[in-house]
C-alpha cells in the first residue's frame, strides 16, 4: 500500500509534515532565533519571548517538579534522548520545543501499565521560582489502559516544556495541562501525541496565567480507528499573550479528531491566538475531523486571532470542517437572565461560566470535570471585578 | 396586590434603519386576581408590548407609563423590574449553553429573595415545578433551553414561573407551537399560578385555544399598536368565529 512508508509505519514522523508546518528537528540550530517574519511566529510579541529563547535553559535549575501517582500501576523513570519511546511522538517544530528537548537531558518518564484502570489521576506539579528551565515529560500509556494525567504549571518561570504522549492500542488516556502561572511567567514548548489503534486520546489545555504562553499541540495516529479530542479553555486578561497552535495529522484511516478551543478575553492588551491546522493525508480514508474555536470578547482593547487551516489530500472521508467565531456577549442571553432577576454582573458571570462549562461537560470523566470546573470558578472569582464592572 | 396599569404607552423598536414606532397609546388595567388576554393579528405589536414592559434593550418607551403596584417600571432596569415582581414568559426562550436550569433558577431565586434557597428542599421544589408542567427531573441538569423542543421550552417557562413565583406574569404566545395536550398542561400551570391570592396574568396570544383552558376575565383586542376593543370571554369567541378582519378594516 503506497500510503505506508518503507518501514511499514504511517507517515508523519521525521518527514516534512505539510506546508503548514516547519520541518521537525531535534537540532536547535535548525530553528534560529525568530525575527517575527516566520509564519509560526508572526503573531507573537517577540520581545517577551527573547529571554526564554535566546540562551539554552539552565540545567539543574532547582525548580520543583512533583509527581503524585499510584505505584501499583505506574512506573516513574527517566529517558535520555533517543532512549525508549522518547522522540517517537515528539520531534520539535520550533525553537522553544527544540530548546526544551535539548535542555531536558533526562526526560521524566511516566509509564502506565497495560490494561490498568487508574481510579485517580496522576498529577504532575511544576512549580517555578523564577528559573529558566526545561522539562520533557514522556507519558507512555500501555495498551488498553484507562488513565488521566494532569500537569499543573505554577509560579514564576521562563519555562520550556514538552509533553510527549504515546497512547497504546485501545487505551483511553486524558492529558490535562493547566497553565496557572504567576503573572510574569513565560512558557513555550510543545505537546505531541501518537494515538494507537482504536485508542481514545483526550487533551485538555487550560491556560489562565502567565505573561506570555505559546504552546504547540500535535497529534498523529499509529494505526486506524483512533480518536483524538483536543479541548482548550483560556482566559486572557489585560496584557496577557496566549497562543495555542494545533496540528492534527490525520495520517491513518478511520480516525477521528475533534478540536474545540474556547477563550474569554478581557482588559487592555489581552491577546489570544488560536491556529488550528488539520492535514488529511492521502489514503487516510473515512476519517472524520472537526475543529472549532470560539472567543468571547468581554471588554474593549482585546484582540483574538483565530486561524483554522484544513489541508485535504483525499476526498474519500466522512467529514472535515471547521468554525471560528469571535464575539461579544449575546444581548438576548443577558436580557433573558436579567428578566429573571439576575443583575447584569451575575448574568455576565453565568454566561462566561457556561461558555467554559459547555466544553468541560463534553470531557466525560466526572472527576476530571469537577476539577476543571473548580479551576474555572477560581479564575472567574479572580476576574469577577472586571467582568462585573464593565457596562 | 398585583395591579398592572399601562397608561398611554408609546414605544419604538430600535432597528438598523433607526427607531420604528410600534406602540401607539396603549391603555390597559389588569387587576390582581384577574387573568387578562391580549389578542391580535401578527404584526400588531403584541410582543413589543411584552418586551417594553420587561425592558428589553432593543425597545424604547418614548412616553407613557407602566406601573406594577404603583411602582413605575419604565424607569427601572430589567433586573429591578423582576425584583418588583414582574415575570416575562417569552415566545422564544433563549438557550444558554453550559448553564444548568437548576443552577440558573437557584441564582435567580437567590437574587429575588436576597437569600439562597434551602439546599435540602431546593431540588424537590425544582422537580415538583418541572413535573407540574410535564417535564421530568432531568431537565434541571440540562442547559437552559438548549436542545429543548418548542413545547419543552414553553413548559420550562411555566416551571420557572412557579419556582420564581412573581406577582405578575406577562406570557407572550406561551401557547404557540404546542400540541393540544401541551396547551392544556401549560394552561393548567397558568391557572395554578393565578389561583394564588394577589397574582395577575397578562396572556398575549394569537389563538383562542389556550383561552378555553384559562378562562380569561377580560379580553383586549390589540391592533396597530393599541387596544381597540375590550370585553369578556365572548370577545374571544367572536374572534374565533370571525377573525381579526373587522378590527383591522375598522381602523383605517
Name the grid cell of B102. Answer: 437548576
**Per-residue pLDDT at B246:** 83
Question: ipTM exceeding 0.90?
Answer: yes
Please tell me which residue of chain B has the smallest CA distance to A346.
B107
CA–CA dist B133, B127 (Å, integer): 10
Test the B interface: residue of A260, A334, A339 with most B CBs within 10 Å: A339
Chain A residues in contact with B60 (beta carbon < 8 A): none
Its pTM stands at 0.88
Q: How close does chain B come to A62, measured CA to CA in Å?
A: 41
Q: How close does chain B come to A187, measured CA to CA in Å?
A: 30
**Domain residue limits at B33:** 4-250
**Per-residue pLDDT at A5:** 45
Q: How many domains does chain B contain in total? A: 1
**Per-residue pLDDT at A61:** 85
Torsion from C-alpha of B161, B195, B166, B198, nearest 10 degrees: 170
pLDDT single digits (tens) B178-224: 988 899 999 999 999 999 999 999 999 988 888 989 989 999 999 99
User: B117-140 in b/e burial notation, b at 16+ Cβ within 10 A?
Assistant: beeeebeebbbebbebbbbeeebb
**Per-residue pLDDT at A367:** 79
First to last CA, chain A: 61
Nearest to A264 by CA among A189, A356, A360, A177: A356
The list of chain B residues with pLDDT below 70 reads: 249-252
Name the grid cell of B60. Answer: 424604547
Name the grid cell of A233. Answer: 479553555
Q: Which of A336, A343, A346 faces B94 most closely, judged by CB atoms? A: A336
Is B105 within 8 Å of A346 when comparing Cβ atoms? no
Please list the alpha-helical segments (H only) found in chain A: 50-53, 95-103, 331-338, 344-360, 366-389
Q: How many CB atoms lie within 10 A of CB B160?
A: 24
Chain A residues in contact with B164 (beta carbon < 8 A): 340-341
Q: How many CB atoms lie within 10 A of CB A85?
A: 18
Chain A residues in contact with B111 (beta carbon < 8 A): 340-343, 346
**Per-residue pLDDT at A60:** 82
pLDDT single digits (tens) B124-139: 999 999 999 999 999 9
Beta strands in A170-240 (DSSP E): 172-179, 186-195, 200-207, 212-221, 227-236
**Helices and strands in chain B: count of H runs, count of E runs:** 9, 12
Contact between A305 and A338 (Cβ < 8 Å): no
Task: Please check whether residue A357 touches B, CB under 8 A.
Answer: yes
Is A338 within 8 Å of B79 when comparing Cβ atoms? yes
Please tell me which residue of chain B has the smallest CA distance to A336.
B94
Chain B residues in contact with A341 (beta carbon < 8 A): 79, 82-83, 108-109, 111-112, 164
Torsion from C-alpha of A81, A82, A88, A92, nearest 10 degrees: 40
**Per-residue pLDDT at A387:** 62
Chain A residues in contact with B58 (beta carbon < 8 A): 331
Q: How close does chain B come to A331, measured CA to CA in Å?
A: 8
Split chain A (391 residues) into runs of 10 and give each run's mean pLDDT. Answer: 43 52 90 92 96 92 90 96 96 96 96 96 96 97 97 97 98 96 97 98 96 98 97 96 97 97 95 96 95 95 96 92 94 97 94 94 83 88 66 44
Contact between A182 and A158 (Cβ < 8 Å): no
CATH number for the domain harbouring residue B144: 3.40.50.300
CA A258 to chain centre: 13
Q: Which residues contact A332 (CB under 8 A, 6 or more apart)?
A: B94
Q: How close does chain B come to A186, measured CA to CA in Å?
A: 31
Residue A391 half-sphere exposure toward CB, CA atoms < 13 A: 1
Per-position DSSP letters for A76-131, written without gaps between them: EEEE-TTSTTTTTS----SHHHHHHHHH-SSEEEEEEPTT-B-SS-EEEEEEEEEE
Amino acid at each position: 500500500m503506497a500510503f505506508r512508508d518503507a518501514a511499514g509505519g504511517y507517515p508523519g514522523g521525521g518527514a516534512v509534515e505539510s506546508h503548514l508546518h516547519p520541518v521537525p528537528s531535534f537540532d536547535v540550530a535548525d530553528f534560529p532565533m525568530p525575527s517575527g517574519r516566520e509564519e509560526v511566529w508572526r503573531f507573537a510579541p517577540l520581545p517577551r519571548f527573547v529571554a526564554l529563547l535566546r540562551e539554552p535553559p539552565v540545567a539543574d535549575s532547582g525548580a520543583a517538579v512533583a509527581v503524585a501517582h499510584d505505584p501499583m500501576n505506574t512506573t516513574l523513570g527517566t529517558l535520555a534522548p533517543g532512549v525508549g519511546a522518547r522522540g517517537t511522538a515528539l520531534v520539535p517544530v520550533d525553537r522553544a520545543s527544540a530548546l526544551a528537548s535539548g535542555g531536558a537531558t533526562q526526560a521524566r518518564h511516566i509509564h502506565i501499565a497495560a490494561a490498568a484502570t487508574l481510579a485517580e489521576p496522576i498529577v504532575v506539579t511544576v512549580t517555578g521560582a523564577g528559573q529558566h528551565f526545561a522539562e520533557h515529560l514522556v507519558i507512555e500509556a500501555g495498551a488498553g489502559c484507562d488513565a488521566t494525567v494532569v500537569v499543573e504549571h505554577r509560579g514564576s518561570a521562563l519555562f520550556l516544556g514538552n509533553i510527549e504522549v504515546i497512547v497504546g492500542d485501545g487505551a483511553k488516556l486524558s492529558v490535562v495541562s493547566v497553565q496557572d502561572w504567576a503573572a510574569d511567567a513565560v512558557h513555550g514548548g510543545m505537546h505531541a501525541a501518537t494515538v494507537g489503534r482504536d485508542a481514545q486520546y483526550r487533551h485538555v489545555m487550560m491556560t489562565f496565567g502567565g505573561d506570555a504562553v505559546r504552546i504547540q499541540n500535535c497529534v498523529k495516529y499509529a494505526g486506524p480507528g483512533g480518536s483524538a479530542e483536543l479541548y482548550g479553555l483560556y482566559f486572557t486578561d489585560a496584557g496577557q499573550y496566549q497562543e495555542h497552535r494545533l496540528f492534527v495529522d490525520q495520517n491513518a484511516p478511520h480516525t477521528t479528531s475533534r478540536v474545540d478551543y474556547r477563550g474569554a478575553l478581557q482588559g487592555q492588551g489581552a491577546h489570544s491566538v488560536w491556529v488550528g491546522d488539520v492535514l488529511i493525508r492521502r489514503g487516510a480514508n473515512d476519517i472524520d475531523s472537526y475543529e472549532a474555536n470560539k472567543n468571547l470578547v468581554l471588554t474593549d482593547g482585546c484582540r483574538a486571532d483565530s486561524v483554522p487551516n484544513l489541508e485535504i489530500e483525499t476526498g474519500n472521508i466522512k467529514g472535515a470542517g471547521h468554525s471560528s467565531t469571535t464575539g461579544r456577549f449575546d444581548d438576548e442571553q443577558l436580557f433573558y437572565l436579567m428578566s429573571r432577576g439576575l443583575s447584569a454582573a451575575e448574568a455576565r458571570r453565568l454566561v462566561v461560566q457556561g461558555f467554559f462549562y459547555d466544553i468541560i461537560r463534553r470531557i466525560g470523566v466526572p472527576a476530571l470535570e469537577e476539577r476543571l470546573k473548580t479551576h474555572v470558578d477560581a479564575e472567574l472569582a479572580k476576574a469577577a471585578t472586571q467582568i462585573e464592572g464593565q457596562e | 396586590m398585583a395591579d398592572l396599569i399601562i397608561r398611554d404607552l408609546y414605544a419604538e423598536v430600535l432597528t438598523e434603519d433607526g427607531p420604528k414606532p410600534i406602540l401607539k397609546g396603549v391603555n390597559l388595567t389588569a387587576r390582581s386576581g384577574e387573568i387578562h388576554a391580549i389578542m391580535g393579528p401578527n404584526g400588531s405589536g403584541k410582543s413589543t408590548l411584552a418586551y417594553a414592559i420587561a425592558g428589553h434593550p432593543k425597545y424604547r418607551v418614548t412616553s407613557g407609563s407602566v406601573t406594577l403596584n404603583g411602582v413605575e417600571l419604565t424607569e427601572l432596569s430589567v433586573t429591578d423590574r423582576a425584583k418588583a415582581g414582574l415575570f416575562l414568559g417569552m415566545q422564544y426562550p433563549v438557550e444558554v449553553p453550559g448553564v444548568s436550569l437548576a443552577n440558573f433558577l437557584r441564582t435567580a431565586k437567590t437574587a429575588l429573595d436576597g437569600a439562597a434557597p434551602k439546599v435540602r428542599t431546593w431540588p424537590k421544589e425544582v422537580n415538583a415545578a418541572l413535573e407540574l408542567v410535564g417535564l421530568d427531573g432531568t431537565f434541571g441538569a440540562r442547559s437552559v433551553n438548549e436542545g429543548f423542543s418548542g413545547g419543552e421550552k414553553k413548559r420550562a417557562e411555566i416551571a420557572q414561573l412557579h419556582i420564581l413565583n412573581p406577582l405578575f406574569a406577562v406570557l407572550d404566545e406561551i401557547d404557540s407551537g404546542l400540541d393540544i395536550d401541551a396547551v392544556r398542561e401549560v394552561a393548567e400551570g397558568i391557572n395554578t399560578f393565578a389561583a394564588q391570592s394577589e397574582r395577575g396574568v397578562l396572556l398575549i396570544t394569537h389563538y383562542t385555544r389556550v383561552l378555553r383552558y384559562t378562562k380569561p376575565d377580560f379580553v383586549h383586542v390589540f391592533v396597530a399598536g393599541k387596544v381597540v376593543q375590550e370585553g369578556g370571554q365572548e370577545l374571544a369567541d367572536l374572534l374565533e368565529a370571525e377573525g381579526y378582519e373587522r378590527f383591522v378594516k375598522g381602523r383605517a
